[in-house]
Amino acid sequence: MNNRLHWLVLLVVGLIISVGITEGEFHFFGDEMRHAMTGVFFRDLIVDHPWSHPIQYVYEYYAKYPSLGLLYWPPLFHFIEGLFFLVFGISVVTSRLTILSFALLGVYFWYKIAEREGPRRRALASAFIFPLLPFVLVYERVTMLEVPKVALCLAAVYFWQSFMREERARDLWWFAAFLVATFLTSQKAVFLPFFVVLHFLVERRWRLLKRWDVWVAGLLTVVTVVPWYLFMLHKLSLSYERVAGQGFEHAATYAHLFYYLGHVTPQMGILLGVPGMAGFVWALLRARREHRFFLIWVVACYVCYTLIQEKSIRHSMIWIPVLVYFALVALENLLPRRNWVIAAFCVLAAYSAVKAVRIEAPKVSGIEPIAQYLVAQPDSEVLYYQGFLNGDFIFFVRKYDPEKRRLIAREKQIVATKVNVGYGTRRIMNTPEEVIAMFQKWGIRYAVVENREFIDGLGPVWVALQSDQFEVLRTYNIKSNNRSFNDRRATVYRFKGELRRSDATVTLPMMTLREDIKADLNRLAGRPWPN
């Protein structure tokens, strides 16, 4: 029975993560909407199979649905999400099922890693507790890359651990495969090279460098991963300052040196964060050999993300299971009897489960019925959306338009933006007359506008909407448990003027790509696409 307890852990964790899986829409960090829509792109790519003109297909798809993260993020997660959409249909639940699958994959591999490094009770307890921490649970219930990245990292580390223990070739190849998969899922996979190199140097297994398969596996990994990143940097107008800053000078500042150490308790809470750090220090001073693998893990994570200029508490999620493990180590050293330890672990697990069930994931809803309403209206071939939830609207328009007849214009036609090291803007239109002319040229009959501006420079749109050229059809309340969405509404406007859709190509201003995109409206709107 003990040998099968980890399957029970997976089952219970999966059920708890699934609480509320059918509620709400996409919104988290703004990125969630792009991750979902990029998954739909891969689903459509598989169905449409435009292999004779793939580049044209990509540009036209973005022109129709300007809410993609292509190139900005590596493609593997979105491809897998696209397969889920293909099998289970385009929906919010399907996207979250993709994340749930990765979450359970991560829990499984963490258990297998921890089981090798300590007693089974510690592996079971840590595998149950870490995915139910409130901070981790949030990312297991939204469509973001943090959980897929952590899951694939754990799989790669498991096979690296196997290879270093038994030196079998199959473990090396599995490690290389998951290393590639992690880098093709998230740039934050950079943790893995830090960990592997540091672990190899500490273990001093120099004889492995004489094996041909080690060099071939390394070469194949580089050949697979590097071209994608070079292509991405060539196409995107990104700044290297996001990673290196000014020659890594930031890494020596107090704020950067202690950023991740100072965020352990926000990640894990006081109950586990303080014992986790205490257990790490104890292991470093008193049981360095026994816990060497996990000590190297924590140090590699700290060094890796401290060197990167862009800081975020979610970057270092990969060390959370290890710190939970060290918290259990600290607890074991405080309790003299084995029965007390098991009882304490059970109490912690029960507390984590009860707290996790009660935690509500951040939710927003109200955009889906707007998309349903507009897709059913006449003259809705081209729609305009202005507001933070633009990607959510685009997702649902695509869901309820299986023939892909519609095209969505966004506020970026008025003010193009990008978030890089700083927040950049590019003004496209400056007067209400230009906005009305754009509606006529594009053939936009309906506009959906949120009541809060999330970027500057959209004043001309508001002035145009208050003119006699527009009428208000409906107003929808946007519901959320996030206070930043309080009193948020979306209003549907109808343009009453004459539409004169242009036969000439129109321009989609780009700030993340190095060049703008041209689109033929008559080809992309009003009829099934691709055609």
Return the pLDDT at 419.
55
Residue 288 to residues 198, 281, 292: CA-CA distances in angstroms? Answer: 15, 10, 5
Pairing of β 382-386 and β 407-410: parallel
Residue 69 to residues 38, 237, 345, 419, 420: CA-CA distances in angstroms? Answer: 6, 14, 42, 13, 14
Helix (H, G, I), strand (E, B) or coil at 407: strand
Across-strand partners of 158?
Answer: none
Q: How far apart are CA 348 and CA 271, in angstroms?
A: 9
Helix (H, G, I), strand (E, B) or coil at 118: coil
Return the pLDDT at 2.
60
Pairing of β 446-450 and β 382-386: parallel
Within 8 A by CB and 6+ apart from 338, the residues are none
DSSP codes joined into one string, 509-526: --SSBSS-EEE-HHHHSS
- Give the pLDDT of the chain (531 residues) as one tens digit per residue: 567 888 999 999 999 999 999 999 999 988 999 999 999 999 999 999 999 999 999 999 999 999 998 888 999 999 999 999 999 999 999 999 999 999 999 999 999 999 999 999 999 999 999 999 999 999 999 999 999 999 999 999 999 999 999 999 999 999 999 999 999 999 999 999 999 999 999 999 999 999 999 999 999 999 999 999 888 888 776 555 555 545 555 666 767 788 889 899 999 999 999 999 999 999 999 998 999 999 999 999 999 999 887 888 999 999 999 999 999 999 999 988 888 889 999 999 999 999 999 998 889 999 999 999 999 999 999 999 999 999 999 999 999 999 999 999 999 888 877 655 455 777 888 899 999 999 999 999 999 999 988 888 889 999 999 999 999 999 999 999 988 898 999 999 999 988 888 887 888 888 777 778 888 898 999 899 997
Per-domain boundaries in the chain: 2-358, 366-524
For residue 137, give the nearest of 361, 334, 290, 347 by alpha carbon.
361
End-to-end, the C-alpha distance of the chain in Å comes to 58
Return the pLDDT at 421.
45
Written as six digits, the tokens of 152 are 């694939």
Written as six digits, the tokens of 423 are 């927040």
Return the pLDDT at 190.
93
Within 8 A by CB and 6+ apart from 232, the residues are 71, 72, 74
For residue 141, give the nearest of 110, 101, 100 by alpha carbon.
100
DSSP codes joined into one string, 337-395: SHHHHHHHHHHHHHHHHHHHHHPPPP-EESSHHHHHHHHTSTT-SEEEEESTTHHHHHH
Q: How far apart are CA 329 and CA 282, in angstroms?
A: 9
Using alpha carbons only, how large is the chain's radius of gyration in Å? 25
Tally of residues, the chain: 531
Q: How far apart are CA 332 and CA 124, in angstroms?
A: 14
- Evaluate if pTM is beyond 0.85: yes
